[in-house]
Amino acid sequence: MKFYRWTTLGLPDVDQCFLDAAPKELGARSSFLARGRPVKGVYPQSPRIDLSEEHPGLRLESFIGNSKRMLVASRPLRTLLEEWCKGQEVEYLPVLIYNHRGRLHADDYSIINPLGTVDCIDPDRSEVTMMEGEIISVERIVLSQAKLAQHPHLFRVREAPHFYVISELLAEALKAGGFTNVVLDPFEVATP
């Protein structure tokens, strides 16, 4: 079985929308969206992200690349992910995207926040920094096939929750669906 990292930056294209902020109403809690922590109860009624002058692109894609390590998906992409993630704890958080002039640009996107993490790396083959027997940083991830015998189709790495991992089957569904700006990089998987 193969696994892929969903790269949140998307493709480098100056004509595409690119976000360098999370919903500003979340404040410091916006980091929860990159770490798989729930925001239910603190998520705003009208979550707003403004496009910045540093990224002038306006073209909307299925996935909107961003520097905040979030999964920002169009309605069709969200629908597909909801189907594949049934039974998982995932927050689907609507977001309003405003253009450079402060006008509403898109209201049919959502931040996909898979909650929690999965113990899935092979620490002996990955490049990790340890302190007192605990992993404190990860430079290179090698997944453990043995730890992924039972795995969801979309999940986060325990030691690096900003890494989104998707299964080979979900990767094939994304490709077949023709979703744009979805960048997947294969993970190395260590066999037992």
pLDDT 10s per residue in the chain (192 long)?
Answer: 899 999 999 999 999 999 999 999 999 999 999 999 999 999 999 999 999 999 999 999 999 999 999 999 999 999 999 999 999 999 999 999 999 999 999 999 999 999 999 999 998 898 878 787 777 778 889 999 999 988 899 999 998 899 999 999 999 999 999 999 999 999 999 987
Instruction: Determine how many CB atoms are found less than 10 A away from the CB of residue 9.
Output: 12
Question: DSSP 3-state assignment of 96?
Answer: strand
* Tokens found for residue 141: 């991830």
Contact between 7 and 41 under an 8 Å Cβ cutoff? The reply is no
Mean pLDDT, the chain, rounded, equals 94
Query: What is the per-residue pLDDT for 134?
Result: 72
Give per-residue pLDDT as tens, 110-157.
Answer: 999 999 999 999 988 988 787 877 777 788 899 999 999 888 999 999
Query: What is the per-residue pLDDT for 115?
Result: 97
148-162 in b/e form (b: 16+ CB < 10 A) is beeebbbbbbbbbbe
Residue the block writes with tokens 């209201």:
107
pLDDT above 70 covers what percent of the chain? 99
Return the H-helix or E-strand segment holding 169.
helix 168-176
Taking the alpha carbons at both ends of the chain, their separation in whole angstroms is: 13
Contact between 181 and 62 under an 8 Å Cβ cutoff? The reply is yes
Instruction: Determine how many CB atoms are found less than 10 A away from the CB of residue 74.
Output: 20
Contact between 184 and 4 under an 8 Å Cβ cutoff? The reply is yes
Q: Residue 114 forms beta bridges with which residues?
A: 90
